Amino acid sequence: GAVVSQHPSWVICKSGTSVKIECRSLDFQATTMFWYRQFPKQSLMLMATSNEGSKATYEQGVEKDKFLINHASLTLSTLTVTSAHPEDSSFYICSARNLAGVEQYFGPGTRLTVT
């Protein structure tokens, strides 16, 4: 199956700093990438959908100025959490889909802890 990688797998940062998470599709062209957040014992929450070369579409309640998403190429999307706060601590997961694809392929996730 298709492979999606995420980096870093975990990160600890101080409150007020920014953190960038990378999502890469390793063996296919990801025309659409999705960013999810998952709090402990809760389901996935879609944050935003990004199409290559276009601005991301954010879900209601997600601050686009705080969660900056860039999808500049068909194999890379980045999520930057700006001015992170402890309540941003969560498991962030990306997924990717190609143009003709039915299935979304998930990255392994990034665990963010803000102290």
Partner 1 sequence: GQNIDQPTEMTATEGAIVQINCTYQTSGFNGLFWYQQHAGEAPTFLSYNVLDGLEEKGRFSSFLSRSKGYSYLLLKELQMKDSASYLCAVRDSNYQLIWGAGTKLIIKP
Is the Cβ of residue 11 or residue 82 nearer to partner 1 in the bound state?
Answer: 11
CB 73 within 8 A of CB 29: no
Question: Which is closer to partner 1, CB of 25 or CB of 49?
Answer: 49
- Sheet strands side by side (includes 4-7): 4-7, 19-25, 76-81, 67-73
Question: Please, which residue, 63 or 103, has the CB nearer to partner 1?
Answer: 103
For partner 1, the binding residues (CB under 8 A) are 1, 34, 42-46, 49, 91, 93, 102-109, 111
**Could you count the other beta carbons within 10 Å of the beta carbon of residue 22?**
17
